[in-house]
Chain A
């Protein structure tokens, strides 16, 4: 039952793969950029509630 649910969800989500890919690529490069910025490495704090 759980396997079937997993397969359904996987294929439903496959349709929005381009969104996920774009998000992943942006954040992959953002991570690389942030790791080069010393002050972010130092604080590691993101403002937020």
Chain B
């Protein structure tokens, strides 16, 4: 099958790491014999290049009425060559041209809804302006209409499935496709010596947080939990690592200083995704803290599946899809409470046997369900329904 995939972000920019889902799904589809092209919106001018077997086509990200028309025309040309059009996310400068192009060319349209973008947009705002209001309305409009405009929908969580059905999608045309881990990239028993040596943490029990340090990531909960753990007094052997970068990194470093925990926490800053498996392999316990809100109830966090595939014991907040992912293979704690997170970390830190059992169970769960091959199988079923 010839598939045209469309994504609103820059596939090659470290500033936008949320393109992993579309790239991994495209790679899996290509490995199954499909012909895949990805049209995307780069920050700067880029050439058409091949990413393995996938052809990438840069479109114009400058937001003007003219580029909206021009991008629609380009997507019409690409849609004519495809059997099905797949797009991810509801950013209007990508979603609207792709819907118009697929409709104009009479091609089946698949919508991959992986985050509640409207809520993330509002949570990311520092102040309300006219621009933010009209853009917020745009996110609401798109996410209100896209579920019924598409011929099939894949969602990353059960909460999004409910929302899609409520917003007009046919129940039989909505498929649950959670995030996955690359099982060849993330696996247990990797050597961790080099990274332990680099950060001078040989012999310490390392507790790791991995993720983007933008808004809606809740690393503050982890820092506050560290403060509580250090107060207990039996934490000399513990070290803590925040792996990743983002707009909130400097603010988080400042919080660590205010909490007087900066000598116990390592901030790695930006690490390429190809190096992440080695860092996760270094950890003894991995954490994924969240608040309980509309954004987190809809999330399918990539960090959790990567921890699971790496065979790590996990402490995570009991919210939304995290519950379904981790039930029975990790420690779930009350969301939004640093005290509960600290208690969970200490419980695992003091019980080696439990860590080992959970690590093995987590890897098994990733192999059974939370990998890109599984998600692609779901996607193929959704495509079949869209073509029907």
Same complex for A and B? Answer yes
In the assembled complex, the CB of A13 is this many whole angstroms from the nearest CB of chain B, namely 5
- Main DSSP-derived SS at the A contact region: helix
Quick one: closest A residue to B99, CB to CB?
A20
**Is the CB–CB distance between A41 and B62 below 8 Å?**
yes
Residue numbers in A under 8 Å from B131 (CB-CB): 33-34, 37, 39-40
1/0 per residue B290-334: CB within 8 Å of A?
000000000100000000000000000000000000000000000
Known: A44-B43, A47-B120, A48-B120. A6 touches B89 (CB 8 A): no
Known: A9-B107, A10-B103, A47-B125. A31 touches B63 (CB 8 A): yes
**Is the CB–CB distance between A30 and B134 below 8 Å?**
yes
Quick one: closest A residue to B83, CB to CB?
A2
Q: How far is the CA of A32 from the CA of B214 in the complex (A)?
A: 28
Residue numbers in B under 8 Å from A46 (CB-CB): 8, 91, 121, 135
Residue numbers in B under 8 Å from A44 (CB-CB): 43, 61-63
Residue numbers in B under 8 Å from A20 (CB-CB): 99-100, 103, 149
**Is the CB–CB distance between B65 and A32 below 8 Å?**
yes
In the assembled complex, the CB of A39 is this many whole angstroms from the nearest CB of chain B, namely 8
Quick one: closest A residue to B116, CB to CB?
A49
Q: How far is the CA of A35 from the CA of B45 in the complex (A)?
A: 18
**Is the CB–CB distance between A23 and B142 below 8 Å?**
yes
Quick one: closest B residue to A8, CB to CB?
B106
**Is the CB–CB distance between A9 and B120 below 8 Å?**
no
Which size bracket describes the interface of B in this complex?
35 or more
1/0 per residue B108-127: CB within 8 Å of A?
10000011010011001100
B65, B105, B142 — most chain A CB neighbours (10 Å): B65
- Interface residues on chain A, number (Cβ under 8 Å): 32
In the assembled complex, the CB of B326 is this many whole angstroms from the nearest CB of chain A, namely 20
The B-contacting residues of A in range 2-48, CB under 8 angstroms, are 2, 5-7, 9-10, 13, 16, 19-20, 23-24, 26-35, 37, 39-41, 44-48
- Which residue of A7, A9, A19, A34 contacts B108 across the interface (Cβ within 8 Å)? A9
In the assembled complex, the CB of B44 is this many whole angstroms from the nearest CB of chain A, namely 10
Residue numbers in B under 8 Å from A34 (CB-CB): 63-64, 131, 135
20 A-B contacts (beta carbon < 8 Å): A5-B387, A6-B107, A7-B106, A9-B107, A10-B103, A10-B106, A23-B96, A23-B99, A23-B142, A24-B100, A28-B68, A29-B65, A31-B68, A34-B64, A41-B62, A47-B125, A48-B124, A49-B114, A49-B115, A49-B299
Q: A41-B63, A48-B91 are in contact. List 14 more A-B contacts (CB 8 A).
A: A5-B106, A10-B106, A16-B149, A30-B135, A30-B138, A31-B63, A31-B93, A33-B131, A33-B134, A34-B131, A46-B8, A47-B120, A47-B214, A48-B115
Which residues of A line the B interface, CB within 8 A?
A: 2, 5-7, 9-10, 13, 16, 19-20, 23-24, 26-35, 37, 39-41, 44-49
Which residues of B line the A interface, CB within 8 A?
A: 8, 15, 18, 43, 61-65, 67-68, 83, 89, 91-93, 96, 99-100, 103, 105-108, 114-115, 117, 120-121, 124-125, 131, 134-135, 137-138, 141-142, 145, 148-149, 151, 214-216, 299, 387
